Amino acid sequence: MRNLIIILMLPLYFFCNILQLKDLNGKTKIAATSTLSKNAKIVYLFFKVEKTNSGVEKITLQEKKIVDGKLKSNPTFEEGEGNIGDFVISMTDAGGKEIMKQLVEDPLNPSREVYTKDEISRNKISLENAEFSVRYSHSAEIQTVKIEKITSSGKKLVFTQKL
Protein backbone atom coordinates (compact mmCIF):
# COMPACT_ATOMS: atom_id res chain seq x y z
CA MET A 1 0.00 0.00 0.00
CA ARG A 2 2.79 2.38 0.89
CA ASN A 3 4.56 1.65 -2.39
CA LEU A 4 1.36 2.31 -4.31
CA ILE A 5 0.96 5.75 -2.68
CA ILE A 6 4.57 6.64 -3.48
CA ILE A 7 4.18 5.55 -7.10
CA LEU A 8 1.03 7.65 -7.51
CA MET A 9 2.50 10.72 -5.78
CA LEU A 10 5.65 10.97 -7.93
CA PRO A 11 3.85 11.91 -11.17
CA LEU A 12 1.75 14.45 -9.29
CA TYR A 13 4.89 15.98 -7.76
CA PHE A 14 6.61 16.32 -11.15
CA PHE A 15 3.48 17.74 -12.77
CA CYS A 16 3.21 20.48 -10.09
CA ASN A 17 6.87 21.41 -10.50
CA ILE A 18 6.46 21.75 -14.27
CA LEU A 19 3.48 24.09 -13.73
CA GLN A 20 5.51 26.27 -11.37
CA LEU A 21 8.35 26.56 -13.87
CA LYS A 22 5.88 27.45 -16.60
CA ASP A 23 4.49 30.31 -14.45
CA LEU A 24 7.95 31.61 -13.65
CA ASN A 25 8.94 31.68 -17.30
CA GLY A 26 5.70 33.33 -18.46
CA LYS A 27 6.50 36.52 -20.37
CA THR A 28 3.04 38.08 -20.04
CA LYS A 29 3.35 38.60 -16.29
CA ILE A 30 6.79 40.18 -16.57
CA ALA A 31 5.55 42.59 -19.25
CA ALA A 32 2.56 43.59 -17.14
CA THR A 33 4.65 44.40 -14.07
CA SER A 34 7.23 46.34 -16.08
CA THR A 35 4.57 48.58 -17.64
CA LEU A 36 3.05 49.16 -14.20
CA SER A 37 6.38 50.24 -12.75
CA LYS A 38 7.06 52.55 -15.71
CA ASN A 39 3.76 54.41 -15.34
CA ALA A 40 3.02 54.42 -11.59
CA LYS A 41 5.07 56.74 -9.40
CA ILE A 42 4.94 57.85 -5.78
CA VAL A 43 5.95 61.35 -4.68
CA TYR A 44 7.41 61.92 -1.22
CA LEU A 45 7.58 65.41 0.25
CA PHE A 46 9.80 65.87 3.31
CA PHE A 47 9.12 68.88 5.55
CA LYS A 48 10.75 70.43 8.60
CA VAL A 49 8.71 72.45 11.09
CA GLU A 50 10.23 74.73 13.73
CA LYS A 51 8.74 76.87 16.48
CA THR A 52 9.85 80.47 16.28
CA ASN A 53 10.30 82.80 19.30
CA SER A 54 6.87 84.30 18.60
CA GLY A 55 5.26 80.83 18.80
CA VAL A 56 4.42 80.63 15.10
CA GLU A 57 5.50 77.53 13.16
CA LYS A 58 7.93 77.90 10.28
CA ILE A 59 7.66 75.09 7.71
CA THR A 60 10.22 74.37 5.01
CA LEU A 61 10.12 71.81 2.21
CA GLN A 62 13.42 69.94 2.57
CA GLU A 63 13.21 67.45 -0.25
CA LYS A 64 10.98 66.01 -2.95
CA LYS A 65 11.52 62.45 -4.16
CA ILE A 66 9.76 60.64 -6.99
CA VAL A 67 10.08 56.86 -7.03
CA ASP A 68 8.55 54.02 -9.03
CA GLY A 69 5.66 52.28 -7.35
CA LYS A 70 1.99 52.36 -6.60
CA LEU A 71 0.27 53.21 -3.33
CA LYS A 72 -1.86 50.39 -2.00
CA SER A 73 -4.43 52.90 -0.76
CA ASN A 74 -4.82 56.64 -0.93
CA PRO A 75 -5.16 58.36 2.44
CA THR A 76 -8.56 59.94 2.99
CA PHE A 77 -9.43 62.90 5.17
CA GLU A 78 -12.79 63.89 6.59
CA GLU A 79 -13.29 67.56 7.51
CA GLY A 80 -14.10 67.03 11.22
CA GLU A 81 -11.40 64.42 11.74
CA GLY A 82 -8.45 66.55 12.89
CA ASN A 83 -7.51 67.86 16.32
CA ILE A 84 -6.14 71.25 17.30
CA GLY A 85 -2.48 71.47 16.23
CA ASP A 86 -2.79 68.97 13.36
CA PHE A 87 -1.77 69.95 9.84
CA VAL A 88 -4.01 69.61 6.79
CA ILE A 89 -1.95 69.17 3.62
CA SER A 90 -3.76 70.05 0.37
CA MET A 91 -2.48 69.35 -3.13
CA THR A 92 -3.96 71.65 -5.77
CA ASP A 93 -3.73 72.12 -9.51
CA ALA A 94 -2.65 75.31 -11.30
CA GLY A 95 -6.17 76.76 -11.02
CA GLY A 96 -6.35 76.21 -7.26
CA LYS A 97 -8.71 73.23 -7.48
CA GLU A 98 -8.05 70.79 -4.64
CA ILE A 99 -7.00 67.36 -5.91
CA MET A 100 -6.25 65.60 -2.63
CA LYS A 101 -6.06 66.25 1.11
CA GLN A 102 -4.16 64.54 3.93
CA LEU A 103 -4.02 64.94 7.68
CA VAL A 104 -0.73 64.94 9.62
CA GLU A 105 -0.97 64.70 13.40
CA ASP A 106 0.74 67.58 15.24
CA PRO A 107 4.47 66.88 14.66
CA LEU A 108 5.59 69.35 17.36
CA ASN A 109 3.50 67.65 20.05
CA PRO A 110 3.63 63.92 19.34
CA SER A 111 1.95 61.41 21.60
CA ARG A 112 4.19 58.63 22.95
CA GLU A 113 3.42 55.49 24.92
CA VAL A 114 5.02 55.14 28.34
CA TYR A 115 5.34 51.71 29.92
CA THR A 116 5.50 51.25 33.70
CA LYS A 117 5.20 48.12 35.82
CA ASP A 118 1.46 48.51 36.24
CA GLU A 119 0.16 50.32 33.18
CA ILE A 120 0.64 51.77 29.76
CA SER A 121 -0.14 55.46 29.25
CA ARG A 122 0.16 58.07 26.51
CA ASN A 123 2.04 61.32 27.09
CA LYS A 124 2.39 64.35 24.82
CA ILE A 125 5.91 65.60 24.20
CA SER A 126 6.59 69.22 23.24
CA LEU A 127 9.34 69.64 20.62
CA GLU A 128 11.03 72.76 19.24
CA ASN A 129 11.47 71.26 15.76
CA ALA A 130 10.37 68.12 13.97
CA GLU A 131 10.23 66.51 10.56
CA PHE A 132 7.29 64.95 8.78
CA SER A 133 6.57 63.58 5.33
CA VAL A 134 3.66 63.20 2.96
CA ARG A 135 3.31 60.75 0.09
CA TYR A 136 0.88 60.64 -2.80
CA SER A 137 0.45 59.09 -6.22
CA HIS A 138 2.19 61.18 -8.85
CA SER A 139 -0.10 63.29 -11.00
CA ALA A 140 0.90 65.96 -13.50
CA GLU A 141 -2.10 68.02 -12.33
CA ILE A 142 -0.67 68.62 -8.84
CA GLN A 143 1.18 71.93 -8.94
CA THR A 144 1.00 73.39 -5.42
CA VAL A 145 1.17 72.13 -1.85
CA LYS A 146 -0.66 74.06 0.87
CA ILE A 147 -0.39 73.36 4.63
CA GLU A 148 -2.97 74.64 7.10
CA LYS A 149 -2.89 74.28 10.88
CA ILE A 150 -6.10 73.43 12.72
CA THR A 151 -6.66 75.96 15.52
CA SER A 152 -9.52 76.57 17.94
CA SER A 153 -10.75 79.39 15.65
CA GLY A 154 -10.51 77.34 12.43
CA LYS A 155 -7.74 76.67 9.93
CA LYS A 156 -4.72 78.94 9.57
CA LEU A 157 -2.57 78.87 6.43
CA VAL A 158 1.08 78.32 7.41
CA PHE A 159 2.81 77.19 4.18
CA THR A 160 2.29 77.35 0.39
CA GLN A 161 4.74 76.34 -2.32
CA LYS A 162 4.73 75.42 -6.01
CA LEU A 163 6.11 71.98 -6.73
Rounded to whole angstroms, how far apart are CA atoms 83 and 47? 20
Which residues have C-beta within 8 Å of that of residue 153, sequence separation ≥ 6? none
Of 119, 75, 118, nearest to 99 by C-alpha is 75
Same domain, 29 and 49: no
pLDDT tens digits for 113-135? 888 888 888 888 889 999 999 99
Beta carbons within 10 angstroms of residue 42's beta carbon: 15
d(CA 154, CA 131): 23
Proportion of the chain above pLDDT 70, given as a percent:
84
**Given this model, what pLDDT does residue 60 score?**
93
Do 30 and 78 sit in the same domain of this protein?
no
Same domain membership, residue 23 and residue 93: no
Looking at the DSSP bridge assignments, the partners of residue 61 are: 47
Using 50, 70 and 90 to split pLDDT, how confident is the model at 147? very high
Is there a single domain that holds both residue 77 and residue 52?
yes
Q: What is the pTM of this model?
A: 0.69
Number of domains in the chain: 2
Strands (E), 41-137: 41-51, 57-68, 87-92, 98-104, 111-115, 120-124, 129-137
Same domain, 15 and 67: no
11/57 same-domain check: no
Position 32 pLDDT exceeds 80: no
For residue 77, the model assigns a pLDDT of 72
Could you tell me the residue range of the domain that residue 23 belongs to?
Answer: 2-35
Residue 65: which CATH number?
A: 2.60.40
